[in-house]
Amino acid sequence: MSRLEFSRKTKAAIIARAAGKCEACEAALKPGGGEVDHILPCALGGEPTIANGRLICRVCHAGKTANDIRSIRKADRSRDKATGAIAPKQKIPGRGFPISQKAAARQPKQQLPYRALFKPVDERNV
Ligand SMILES: [Zn+2]
């Protein structure tokens, strides 16, 4: 899958819509400044359209790109787990040592008989 860049026309429309301001933080941009950004990243299915594009300043773009990369990597891992490309993590092995002689010789506790919660009616002193 190749990256789909904004066409010249789309970029021009986005820049005109922004009217010289960053569309994320409202900072004023120099003419020709700012970067056209995919709101939904291309790797996550974002289209290069006017609706999915915005003009943002360099600072906003750097921060957003870092977050986008994290989301894209997470999506990649989820897809790989679902398709079986990543093997499941190993199961933690059980105790690797034998039971001591003393513990093995210990008698299990004897259970006491259950005590009745209620006495039968004919035994009551009425
Ligand atoms: Zn900004």
Domains of the chain by residue range: 8-83
C-alpha 22 – ligand 1 centre gap (Å): 5
C-alpha 4 – ligand 1 centre gap (Å): 23
Record the pTM: 0.62
Which pLDDT tens digit goes with each residue over 32-59?
899 999 999 999 999 999 999 999 999 9
CA distance 22 to 59: 10
C-alpha 60 – ligand 1 centre gap (Å): 4
Tell me, what's the pLDDT at 97?
78
Which pLDDT tens digit goes with each residue over 67-105?
999 999 999 999 998 998 988 777 778 877 777 888 888
**Ligand 1 is a single-atom ion; what residues have CB below 5 A from it?**
22, 24-25, 27, 57, 60
Closest CA to 25 of 55, 1, 60: 60
C-alpha 45 – ligand 1 centre gap (Å): 23
**CATH class given for the domain over 8-83:** mainly alpha
